[in-house]
């Protein structure tokens, strides 16, 4: 089959690789019908996560049709259309019982390495390095879906791929980020980053009762999308000082809830901390550029909440913990417990409360993947979300 494989920094190729096979009775194999490129993939593309091996198959936002079923699988059959959450849960451990699926204890075969780095190992993730299991990813013609019944969402007839595929990650991620922000009715919610995740944070903030949403980015078409589809007030970080603007918009109190949907590759032209981060990352002295997180902490109102869906990898420094502590902030973060939200958010889509396809700017063939990584990373051609059709 064809698959997008990682070969080094900035080097993704469409290779011919062996088809996946059933390896465990709880597996199914899908023929992938839609698969996306995520901001998280860019951290691998830019080599911020140093646990990749040449030839690894990328991708963690797939959906498709079941073509083969393991002998222990009874609830899925050939021909079913399913969405595959990016995090892999066993469905049985202490964490899965509590719906903390991305913290599953049993699905990362390389748990020892992750434990050494983080104290405990998170769940296995598709296509996301050997630190989280080395599972082959979904930017491919076929995917081996492990522990299928504990994880996947079976789709009803009629719903097009474009509306369903983001249930694999970014819609649940935006929703969990808004939930983690602890929004109270009428709150002002500020969202850093108007990439695909930020867009779903904005949508979800309204669903959870926000009174105002302010969105921050520097890319004009992303800000326009936040304005048009997200009804957000927008702040262009290249045109104003974000802290000053947010204080002005909130009469000096600061936003009640701040969501960092940027993560470890934040930009910050003209900000000293961002310039230092960039220099350190270039010479391999740092894995994370945390300008957006620092700014969210500084901007957040006293006793507010900072929710962090943006991915961090290692040891970001200069985090203003003094400000966070003395202002009494709450922090909530994490890889999304996707399975907790798929059914509930599918219902919202079926009731026409949201059509997630608004974020799609590019639908391309799998073979176009290497170029698509580049235009998505470099924000060329007004690219916001790429869906690949294997």
For ligand NAD, the closer CB: 39 or 127: 39
For Zn ion, the closer CB: 40 or 305: 40
Residue 154: contacted member of Zn ion, ligand NAD, none (CB under 5 to 8 Å, by partner type): none
For Zn ion, the closer CB: 121 or 335: 335
For ligand NAD, the closer CB: 230 or 310: 310
Contact between 208 and Zn ion per CB under 5 A: no
Residue 281 beta carbon to Zn ion: minimum distance, rounded to whole angstroms:
21
For Zn ion, the closer CB: 195 or 390: 195
- Give dist(CA 320, CA 67) in Å, integer: 51
- Give dist(CA 58, CA 128) in Å, integer: 7
Of 38, 42, 152, 375, the one binding Zn ion (CB under 5 A) is 38
3-class DSSP state of 67:
strand
Q: C-alpha 127: how far from its chain's center?
A: 13
How many of the chain's residues bind ligand NAD (CB under 6 A)? 34
- Give dist(CA 94, CA 83) in Å, integer: 24
Of 35, 40, 141, 188, the one binding ligand NAD (CB under 6 A) is 40
- The 170-189 contact track toward ligand NAD, x by CB under 6 A, reads x--x----------------
Of 68, 169, 277, 295, the one binding Zn ion (CB under 5 A) is 169
What are the residues whose beta carbons fall under 8 Å from the beta carbon of 188, sequence distance 6 or more? 210, 211, 212, 213, 214, 249, 250, 255, 256, 257
- Give dist(CA 107, CA 190) in Å, integer: 34
Buried b (16+ CB within 10 A) or exposed e, 279-305: eebeeeebbbbbbbbbbbbbbbbeebb
- The 119-138 contact track toward ligand NAD, x by CB under 6 A, reads --------------------
Instruction: Identify which range of 30-38, 185-193, 215-223, 332-340 contacts Zn ion by CB under 5 A.
Output: 30-38
Strands 188-192 and 153-154: unpaired
For ligand NAD, the closer CB: 38 or 96: 38
Residue 100 beta carbon to Zn ion: minimum distance, rounded to whole angstroms:
18
For ligand NAD, the closer CB: 254 or 263: 263
Of 26, 34, 35, 40, the one binding Zn ion (CB under 5 A) is 40
- Give dist(CA 152, CA 88) in Å, integer: 10
Q: C-alpha 205: how far from its chain's center?
A: 16
Residue 250: exposed, middle, or buried by beta-carbon count in 10 A (0-12, 13-18, 19+)?
middle
Instruction: Identify which range of 157-165, 249-257, 260-268, 323-331 contacts ligand NAD by CB under 6 A.
Output: 260-268
* Exposure of 137 in the CB half-sphere (CA atoms within 13 A): 31
Contact between 336 and ligand NAD per CB under 6 A: yes
Of 12, 153, 311, 372, the one binding ligand NAD (CB under 6 A) is 311
Residue 292: contacted member of Zn ion, ligand NAD, none (CB under 5 to 8 Å, by partner type): ligand NAD
Contact between 332 and ligand NAD per CB under 6 A: no
Contact between 387 and Zn ion per CB under 5 A: no
- The 261-290 contact track toward ligand NAD, x by CB under 6 A, reads xxx--xxx----------------------
3-class DSSP state of 377:
helix
* Full DSSP string of 277-327: HHHHHHTTS-S-B-HHHHHHHHHSPTT-EEEE-S---S------HHHHHHT
Contact between 237 and ligand NAD per CB under 6 A: yes
- Give dist(CA 91, CA 96) in Å, integer: 5
- Give dist(CA 363, CA 376) in Å, integer: 12
For ligand NAD, the closer CB: 219 or 232: 219
Nearest CA-CA partner of 376 in 50, 30, 61: 61
Site residues (CB under 6 A) for ligand NAD? Answer: 38-40, 42-43, 169-170, 173, 192-198, 216-219, 222, 237, 261-263, 266-268, 291-292, 309-311, 335-336
């Amino acid at each position: 089959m064809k698959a997008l494989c990682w070969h080094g920094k900035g080097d993704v190729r469409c290779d011919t690789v062996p088809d996946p096979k059933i390896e465990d009775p709880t597996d199914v194999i899908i023929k992938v019908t839609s698969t996306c490129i995520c901001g998280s993939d860019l951290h691998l593309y830019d080599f911020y996560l140093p646990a990749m091996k040449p030839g690894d198959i990328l991708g963690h936002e797939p959906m498709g049709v079941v073509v083969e079923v393991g002998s222990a699988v009874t609830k899925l059959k050939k021909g079913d259309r399913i969405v595959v959450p990016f995090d892999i849960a066993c469905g049985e451990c202490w964490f899965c019982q509590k719906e903390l699926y991305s913290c599953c204890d049993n699905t990362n075969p390389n748990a020892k390495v992750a434990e050494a780095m983080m104290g405990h190992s998170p769940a296995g993730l598709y296509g996301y390095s050997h630190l989280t299991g080395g599972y082959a990813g979904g930017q491919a013609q076929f995917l081996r879906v492990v522990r299928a019944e504990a994880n996947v969402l079976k789709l009803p007839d009629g719903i097009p791929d474009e509306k369903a595929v983001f249930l694999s990650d970014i819609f649940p991620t935006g929703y969990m980020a808004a939930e983690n922000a602890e929004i109270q009715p009428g709150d002002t919610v500020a969202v850093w980053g108007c990439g695909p995740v930020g867009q779903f944070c904005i949508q979800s903030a309204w669903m959870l009762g926000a009174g105002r949403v302010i969105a921050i980015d520097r890319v004009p078409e992303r800000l326009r999308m936040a304005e048009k589809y997200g009804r957000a007030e927008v702040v262009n970080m290249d045109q104003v000082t974000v802290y000053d603007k947010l204080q002005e918009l909130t009469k000096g109190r600061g936003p009640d809830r701040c969501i960092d949907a940027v993560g470890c590759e934040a930009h910050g032209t003209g900000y000293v901390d961002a310039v230092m981060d960039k220099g350190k990352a270039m010479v391999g002295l740092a894995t994370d550029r945390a300008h957006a997180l620092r700014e969210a902490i500084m901007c957040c109102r006293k006793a507010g909440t900072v929710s962090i869906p943006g991915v961090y990898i290692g040891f970001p420094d200069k985090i203003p913990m003094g400000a966070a502590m003395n202002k009494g902030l709450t922090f909530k973060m994490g890889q999304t417990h996707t399975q907790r939200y798929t059914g509930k958010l599918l219902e919202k889509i079926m009731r026409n409360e949201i059509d997630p396809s608004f974020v799609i700017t590019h639908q391309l063939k799998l073979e176009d993947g290497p170029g698509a990584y580049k235009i998505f990373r470099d924000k060329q051609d007004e690219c916001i979300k790429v869906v690949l059709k294997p």
